[in-house]
C-alpha cells in the first residue's frame, strides 16, 4: 500500500461508523462498471417495498449507529 493510501486509511478509520460505511459503499461502487440496470431496478424496488412496510407499521427500524454498534460487538 502506498504512503498516500496508508494516510487515507488512517484518516478513514477516524470517521464515524456511518461515515465509514458510506465511504465503503462509494468505494465499492467505483468498481462497478456494469451497465445492467436490472440490478439497480431490483434494489430500488426492494427499497420502496421496505419503506412502504415501515410506513405501514409492518416493520420497525433501528438507527444506523445502533446497527453498526451491534455489528462491531460481534
For 16-50, the pLDDT digits (tens) are: 999 999 999 899 888 877 666 788 889 899 999 99
Phi, psi torsion values for 42, nearest 5 degrees: -65, -40
Cα dist. 56→9, 19, 42, 50 in Å?
Answer: 41, 29, 21, 10
Q: Which residue has the higher pLDDT, 54 or 40?
A: 54
Q: What is the mean pLDDT of the chain?
A: 90
Residue 55 has pLDDT above 70, yes or no: yes
Q: What is the pLDDT of residue 39?
A: 83
Decide if 50 contacts 59 (C-beta within 8 A). Answer: yes
The domain limits of the chain are 1-33, 39-74
Amino acid at each position: 500500500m502506498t504512503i498516500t493510501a496508508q494516510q487515507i486509511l488512517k484518516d478513514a478509520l477516524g470517521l464515524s461508523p456511518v461515515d465509514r460505511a458510506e465511504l465503503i459503499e462509494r468505494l465499492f461502487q467505483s468498481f462497478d462498471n456494469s451497465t445492467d440496470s436490472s440490478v439497480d431496478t431490483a434494489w430500488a424496488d426492494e427499497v420502496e417495498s421496505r419503506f412502504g412496510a415501515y410506513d405501514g407499521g409492518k416493520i420497525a427500524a433501528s438507527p444506523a449507529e445502533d446497527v453498526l454498534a451491534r455489528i462491531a460487538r460481534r
